[in-house]
Amino acid sequence: MLLAHQSAKKIFEMSRQLNIENIGEVISEFRNLLGEKFVEEELESFDTKGLREAEVERLSVSSHPIAQSWVNLCAESARSKNDGKLRLSANSLVLLEELHWIQFASKLRGAERNLADVRNRSKFHSGKHEANIAAQYAHFGFDVSFLPEQKEKTADLLVKTATGEVYVECKSFLDRSEDEDPHWSQFERSISKKLKIHKRCWSIYVLCAEVLDHQLKTELTTAVQDQISAENLSDLLLSNDRVLVQFRKIGEPDREVFGEFSGQVPGIRLRVMADVRIVQGQMWHRNPTIISVDSIFDPNQSRRLYNYIKKASRQLPPDRPSVLHIDLNIKDPARIFDVIDECWNPMHRRLEASHRRINAVVLSGGAVLPNPRDPSNSFHRELAVVPNRRGRNSLPSDFCIFGSAPSPSFDKLDGKEGTIFFRFSINEPLEKQTGRTIIFHCSTDGLRQVRIWQTFKNRLRFEVFNPDIGRKTEDFDLNYLVVGELYSFAVTWAKDGVRAYLNGKPLN
């Protein structure tokens, strides 16, 4: 059986090596998969030529989620053939990977329902996520089938092993964001116009733990516009403190600054504006503004994740083991680990206290790296398994949760204490590296885990979980390490915490 954390990208590359000769054939296969009529009417009709910014936004919001990516993929394929060299963007590679798993899942029982969801604009993201999970379990050798829609909500998938069966439910944050997109776009346009009228060079950061409907959009827009008019940079709290708006001054009106302006701020939505002019080949900008939105604000308190767990509990059978897979909407790869880390403990407590039907929740997040050196490895994905040791029904002994990574080296990850020791060296400056998992073990039921990963801030993070000690975490600074030198790292854990040593010296 393949390890459950194996990269989908690597499996895709092994199954089909893309090149200039076969890219057209691959696109044709996916065209047949989705249906000629669907591709022509829903995807290839996407055309932004001659449209204004607001018109492009309205078209993007009303179109199928992959319409623009499909058009770009076909255009890049045609240019590649003309150039004689395959040149695909990171977004096109991600689309190919997504379609690959949808194609893989289309061969499973009941896949017609899933393909209908994939073609549906409002259900595409949940359908894509469901297809990915189904394909992964099928790839492990399990018997997987899509369950039909019924009046009473049921699980999405049934996974059968030689010794039992598991029901799987799939949820995606992206579905909710599709409903919110038109409201966020209207909010951003209104605030950009207000900033321009009053010549405010501000960064506005919205952290939202509520669904943005028409009523909340109106309330939020009015409140932010009032602060712009009053030149008030104080934080703004709305909707029972579940929406926070932060304001920051980033420049002076009409003052030109040399260089290109770019806003490095968090958020899954970002609108950066500035007046730009070129003088003798050099760029100058003035009146910069940034509007950034993060709709996964404080996951420890976000009702969205907990609502998904509640809904899944009602959809899953009470007398069978089950797993819930949640795809997080995170477009900033640096935040994947942070969000998962914030979610893990409160979700674990909720599962054990109130949701014994669910044996585990698997959180997954994926994002395109901003400046990948290797486009074929431009998509960063991480998964975390949140187990429920009080699950009512035991998982089959031969079942492996997708997201787990069993390793013979960690078969004895039980007891109240333990130690890991390894040697490593750094072969390039840390500022040129990206965050990634270094060591990960997760038993097939999720109840014994150890992970060591390098964060995007170049800290070495360690976490361990087993039923005896619960979850222990700690992180250590790496930024002072020297390229080319060999280091010895040891970490010990017990019920009272974690201790680490580098070359025999304790780390704080």
Contact 64, 133 (CB under 8 A): no
pLDDT in tens, 446-475: 999 988 888 777 778 888 998 888 898 888
Instruction: List the domains of the chain with CATH numbers.
Output: 176-294 (no CATH), 405-507 (2.60.120.200)
**Which range (65-69, 178-182, 364-368, 492-496) has the least confidence?**
178-182
CB 329 within 8 A of CB 296: yes
What's the maximum distance between 2 C-alpha atoms anywhere in the chain?
73
- Under a CB-based contact definition with an 8 Å cutoff, are residues 352 and 389 in contact? yes
Span 167-193, average pLDDT? 80
> Other CB atoms closer than 10 Å to residue 41's CB: what's the count?
11
The b/e string for 308-344 (b: 16+ C-beta within 10 A; e otherwise) is bbeebbebbeeebbbbbbbbbbbebbbbbbbbbbbbb
Is the pLDDT reported for residue 351 higher than 70? yes
Reply yes or no on whether the pLDDT at 309 is more than 60.
yes
The answer to whether residue 34 scores a pLDDT higher than 80 is: yes
Q: How confident is the model at residue 9, as a pLDDT?
A: 42
- Rounded Cα–Cα distance for residues 325 and 362 (Å): 5
Listed range (13-17, 20-24, 356-360, 472-476) with the worst mean pLDDT: 13-17
The whole model's pTM is what?
0.77
Of 140 and 56, more confident = 140
Residue 377, pLDDT above cutoff 70: no
Q: Helices 214-229 and 173-198 sit at what angle, rounded to 10 degrees?
A: 30
Residue 140 and residue 143: Cα distance in Å, rounded? Answer: 9
Residue 54, SS3? helix
